[in-house]
Amino acid sequence: MTRLFVFGLGYAASHVAAAVRSRGGVVIATGRAGDISFDDAAAVRAGLAASTHVLSSVPPDEGDPVLDRYGDLLAGKWLGYLSSTGVYGDAGGAWVDEAAPIRGRRANRNAADARWLALGARVFRLPGIYGPGRSPIDRLREGKAHLTGLPDQVFSRIHVADLATGVIAGFDGPAGAYNLSDDRPANQDDVMTYAARLVGLPPPPPLVSLDQLSPMARAFYAENRRVANGKARRVLGWRPRFADYRLGLRAVSATTSPTIASAAPLPASSDQR
């Protein structure tokens, strides 16, 4: 039986946990939807001792909070880490795979990715995460969507259900880095326009200027890359069910309604402790 310990049971990791439970596994977790507090060292130690698999979705701060506090308890476990394709930095719109140099703008994210790899983890590098409750459709319905006017700025995405199946596939795969992404990178405006048409809403207004955005969002739109998922396909036997944003958004539209309250979409792994 799989006994999974999750550090940071937020949006993305909760879908992995649900997939494990659906297969008869047991999950114990920290985080906003978890069973125990990250700071309850005794409970964390007991949970880790009883686990076979450990997954962290806790983002780095000055260091990696999980490794800094509990790294000495992880030996002998299957290890997984939800990282970000942001570690590749700007590629000028070119395709990147796991052999691409690590030159992302966030040194702490790059360092955490490297530390987990050095421990023998499966490091899942994730692009923009979307799904029910966190998608362009939800942003449109909340009046928070916009067009960027950047047709050449392209990035990849992953439906949260495909993220979960990718992590599960990694249970039987070798250690290393894996990009989990769909097959059709696209610019933001094409995605937003399609989402609006899908649910019968007008396209969102354009940004007057990128200066309207937060510094983090402006930095995001300064990067341009297409993320290849061939290694996860070859090594893990994984295939995204929602191979492009059209398939994914159609699935989201079938499971949501205009009355659903939702949070902002995740740019990448950002689950909490």
Per-residue model confidence as pLDDT tens digits over 201-212: 999 999 867 777
Which has the closest alpha carbon to 87: 55, 111, 63, 66?
111
Q: Considering the entire predicted model, what is its pTM? A: 0.92
According to the model, what pLDDT value does residue 271 have?
A: 55
CA gap 75, 87 in Å, rounded = 25
Cα–chain center distance at 20: 17
Match 């923009």 to its residue by tokens: 128
- Using pLDDT thresholds of 50, 70 and 90, give the confidence band for residue 215: confident
Phi, psi of 116 (to 5 degrees): -65, -40
**pLDDT band per the 50, 70, 90 thresholds, residue 72:** very high
CATH number of 3-255: 3.40.50.720
Angstrom CA distances, 17 to 27, 122, 156, stand at 6, 16, 24
* Six-digit token string for 161: 């259900």
Half-sphere exposure of 16 (CA within 13 A, CB side): 35
For the chain, which residues make up each domain, given as ranges?
3-255
**Using 50, 70 and 90 to split pLDDT, how confident is the model at 220?**
confident
Amino acid symbol at 93: G
Identify the band that residue 221 occupies on the pLDDT scale cut at 50, 70 and 90: confident
